[in-house]
Amino acid sequence: MVRGAAKQQAREKNQKLAASKAGGVSQLKARAAGLPIVCPSCKGPMAGYKILVQHMESKHPGAAVPDEASFK
């Protein structure tokens, strides 16, 4: 019983992997084409625009926060 469940889980995992590989290429390309969000002051990578705004307010007060549209 346990073995069968493990096999089933492995199969589902493989299917998910195959699916992500099949559909992942275009996503990767889109990500590579898009500009990554980096802090203009210290070049640190930011997970999102809101994080960048918070980062700049705390680390670089007075520095101009770039427009969100410039990252899209």
Binding site residues, Zn ion, CB under 5 A: 39, 41-42, 44, 59
Neighbours of 52 (CB within 10 A): 21
How far is Cα 65 from Cα 52, in angstroms, rounded to an integer? 8
- The residue among 24 and 45 lying less far from Zn ion, judged by its C-beta, is 45
- The residue among 19 and 42 lying less far from Zn ion, judged by its C-beta, is 42
- The residue among 16 and 50 lying less far from Zn ion, judged by its C-beta, is 50
| Sign of the CA dihedral with 46 first, then 48, 28, and 72 last | negative
Shortest Å, Cβ 52 to Zn ion? 8
